[in-house]
Structure 1
Amino acid sequence: MNSVSGLVIVDKPADWTSHDVVGRLRRLARTRRVGHAGTLDPMATGVLVIGVEKATRLLGHLALTEKGYDATIRLGQATNTDDAEGEVTATASAAHVTDEALRAGIARLTGEIQQIPPQVSAIKVNGERAYKMARKGEEVELRARPVTVSEFRVTDVRRTGEFVDVDASIACSSGTYIRALARDLGAGLGVGGHLTSLRRTRVGPYDLGMARTVDQLAERMEILPIAEAVTAAFPRRDVTEDDARRIAHGGRLAAAGLGPGPVGVFAPDGTFLALVEEQGRQAKPLAVFV
C-alpha cells in the first residue's frame, strides 16, 4: 500500500464521472483510501481534487473553497437537465437578444444571489436524491439557496441563426450550479438557455496548471504532499513543541488572529499536525492528523 498522504490534481476527461476517476486513482495509488472534493458532472472536464490516505480528511474543507469555470451557454433552447445531456423542453429565437440585454442579464446573476438547483441534481429531498425523483417523472420542489458569483465575464459571443452561444469565465462559491446560471440567464432573457460545455479551471488554489490527465498519472503518479497542500489552501501557523503536543492530543490553542476559516498547524520540524478553527480567543481542532 502507498503510504504517501496528499492531493492529486486531476484534469478530468469528458464522459467520466468523478467516481470513475476515484476508482482509477485507487488502482494507481494502490489504496482504497481515496476521495474527491466537489463532484464534476460527466460532461464537464477540468480540475478534480483527489485526496489520498490522510488527505481524504481535508476534502470536506477544500470543497468549500471558491471555484473557477469556463462555460459555454446556449441561449434560445431549454432542456430538462439545464445542460446539453438533457431533452429539449422549449425553443425560442434568441436572435433579437442584444449585447446590452445580455450584459444586463449577467449582471442580475452576479454577486450574492438566490439560486434554485437544477431538477436533475444530487440535492436530497425528503431523503431521496432529486435526480432520482426527476427520472421517475416526479416534480421536485427545490428551495432557492444563497450563492455568490464573484465573476461572470463574457469572453465571446457567437450568433448562429436563432441561437446565441455565450462563452464565459465564472468564479463562484461552493454549491453554485453553472447549469442553473445558464438556465436562469436564458429565462431572464425570455428565450431559455442551457449549458453546452463546462471546464473547471480552479478549486481554491489548485488550478489547471497543476492538473494532470489520467494518462499522465498512469505514467507518473504525482501526489502533492499533505503539508504542501495545506500550506497552499489555508493560513499556516507554526507552533512550539509544547503547543504541538497539546494539539496532537486534541487540545486547544490560544487564537492567533488568522481568521474564521481552517488554519493549518505545523510542528517546529514542519510536520503538519491539524486543522483548527478560531473561535473567540481559542483555536479549536477541526481534524488532527497525527
Structure 2
Amino acid sequence: MEQRMNLDTVQGVLCMNKPTEFTSFDVIGKLRGILHMRRLGHTGTLDPMATGVLPVLVGKATRACDILPDQTKSYRAAVQFGWETDTEDVWGIRTAAYPEMHVTKEMLDEVIPRFLGEIQQIPPMYSAVSVEGKRLYELARKGVVIDRPARTVQVDDITLEEWDEEKQTAVLSVTCGKGTYIRTLLSDIGRALGGGAVMTALCRTMAHGFTLEQCYTFEQVTEFCRMGTLAEHLIPTDRLFAALPALHLTEQQTALYGNGVKLALSRVEGILPDQEQYRVYGADGCFFGTAQTDRKSDELRVGKNMK
C-alpha cells in the first residue's frame, strides 16, 4: 500500500549508486521526479561513464554542500596501457599508440609510489574545470585546446588489485582528496612508464565516508517512496560531519544557542585547544549543525544551521 510522506521535514543523505551514462545532475533530476522534491543536491560530480557512490543531500542537508570536512574519495579504476585518447579514457578519440610499450608488474610497482602524497596534476580538457570563466569541456567540444595550470592534489593510496601482463591491463584502487582526476592519474602513470594509458572503467567505492554498501538504485528509492519509508533509508545529516569533534550543550546553552546567541568557550564542555570547527548537539541530542570558535572573543559562533 502506498504511503504519503511529509517531505517538508525529511532531511539527510541518500546514497545513490550512480549508473553509467548518467551525469550527477541527471541523478538529481531523476530523483526530483521520483521524490517530488526540489531541494536536492549532490556532493561533487562523477564522470558520466563512471558508476558508484554519489551522496545526495535531501532537504535542509543541502546546506552542507559547500562545507563538508571529509573530502576523501576512493575509486576502483581499470586501465589499458599502450595508447592515449583526447579524453584520457576509452570513450575518447585515439590520439597516440605505443605498440612497443610493454609494462611489467615490477615496472608498475616502481612507478606507483611516485604518484603518492601531494602531486601536480594538469586537469584534462574534457573536464568541468573553469579557466578564465570558460568550462574546459565546452572548449574541448569545439576542438580548442588551451594551456591549463597544474593543480596540487592529494593521493593517499594506490593499490594494484589486478594485473594482466599479456593484455597490458590493470585494476587500481585509489584513495585521494578533492579535485583529483583518476583518468589523468592513470594517463600520467602511463607516460611515466614510457608510453600512454587510458581508463577503461571507473567505480567510486567511497565518498565523504559513505560506501557502496550504503547506496541504493533508482528502483529501490521508488519503492521506498511507494511504501512511505524513504526517511528510514536516509543517513542522518550529522554523519556528514563525523570528522569534526562533537559538542553537547546543556539545556540552558541549547536555548541560547538555538536563538543565535554566541556561547562563551570557557563554559562549553568539550572545546579542544587546537580545534576550530565542531558539530553541535542540543540537550535533547538533536543535531544543530556546525560551529566555529572565536578565540579572541572567547565565543562559540553558529556555523551552518541544519535545523
Same fold (TM over 0.5): yes
Query: Is it true that 1:239 corresponds to 2:256 in the alignment?
Result: no
One of 60, 68, 92 as aligned partner of 1:86: 92
Query: Hey, what's the Cα distance between the residues in 2 that align with 1:69 and 1:23?
Result: 24
* Residue 231 of structure 1, CA deviation: 5.9
* Residue 201 of structure 1, CA deviation: 0.6
* Residue 283 of structure 1, CA deviation: 3.9
**1:123 is matched with which residue?**
129
Query: Hey, what's the Cα distance between the residues in 2 that align with 1:11 and 1:138?
Result: 33
One of 184, 198, 223 as aligned partner of 1:180: 184
One of 236, 240, 244 as aligned partner of 1:225: 236
Distance change >3 Å, CA 22–CA 74, structure 1 → 2:
same
Query: Is it true that 1:270 corresponds to 2:285 in the alignment?
Result: yes
**Structure 2 residue matching 1:224: 3-state secondary structure:** coil
Query: Hey, what's the Cα distance between the residues in 2 that align with 1:287 and 1:173?
Result: 23
One of 107, 115, 122 as aligned partner of 1:109: 115
Distance change >3 Å, CA 94–CA 177, structure 1 → 2:
farther
Distance change >3 Å, CA 271–CA 6, structure 1 → 2:
same
**Structure 2 residue matching 1:121: 3-state secondary structure:** coil
CA contact (8 A) 2:68 2:241 kept: no
One of 2, 18, 24 as aligned partner of 2:7: 2
CA contact (8 A) 1:248 1:288 kept: no
The C-alpha deviation readout for 1:154-208, integer Å capped at 9, x for no partner, is 01111345xx111011100011110110110111112111111110011122111
**Structure 2 residue matching 1:31: 3-state secondary structure:** coil
**Structure 2 residue matching 1:89: 3-state secondary structure:** strand
One of 141, 147, 151 as aligned partner of 2:153: 147
CA contact (8 A) 1:75 1:94 kept: no
**1:248 is matched with which residue?**
258
Query: Hey, what's the Cα distance between the residues in 2 that align with 1:258 and 1:249?
Result: 26
Unaligned runs of 5+ in 2: 1-5, 225-229
Query: Hey, what's the Cα distance between the residues in 1 that align with 2:18 and 2:71?
Result: 19
Query: Is it true that 1:286 corresponds to 2:303 in the alignment?
Result: yes
* Residue 73 of structure 1, CA deviation: 1.4
Query: Hey, what's the Cα distance between the residues in 2 that align with 1:155 and 1:6?
Result: 34
* Residue 272 of structure 1, CA deviation: 1.3
Query: Is it true that 1:165 corresponds to 2:169 in the alignment?
Result: yes
One of 44, 57, 60 as aligned partner of 1:54: 60
CA contact (8 A) 1:204 1:233 kept: no
* Residue 251 of structure 1, CA deviation: 4.2
**Structure 2 residue matching 1:269: 3-state secondary structure:** coil
CA contact (8 A) 2:69 2:241 kept: no
* Residue 72 of structure 1, CA deviation: 0.7
The C-alpha deviation readout for 1:20-63, integer Å capped at 9, x for no partner, is 11012112222100010011111100000001110011122338
Query: Hey, what's the Cα distance between the residues in 2 that align with 1:122 and 1:64?
Result: 21
CA contact (8 A) 2:70 2:241 kept: no
Count of matched residue pairs: 287
Query: Hey, what's the Cα distance between the residues in 2 that align with 1:244 and 1:169?
Result: 44
**Structure 2 residue matching 1:196: 3-state secondary structure:** strand
* Residue 64 of structure 1, CA deviation: 5.1
Counterpart residue identity of residue 103, structure 1: D
| TM value normalised by structure 2 | 0.86
Query: Hey, what's the Cα distance between the residues in 2 that align with 1:246 and 1:119?
Result: 51
| TM value normalised by structure 1 | 0.91
Counterpart residue identity of residue 226, structure 1: T
Query: Hey, what's the Cα distance between the residues in 1 that align with 2:7 and 2:17?
Result: 22
Query: Hey, what's the Cα distance between the residues in 2 that align with 1:261 and 1:177?
Result: 30
- Report percent identity of matched pairs: 36
Query: Hey, what's the Cα distance between the residues in 2 that align with 1:244 and 1:142?
Result: 49
Unaligned runs of 5+ in 1: none
CA contact (8 A) 1:235 1:258 kept: no
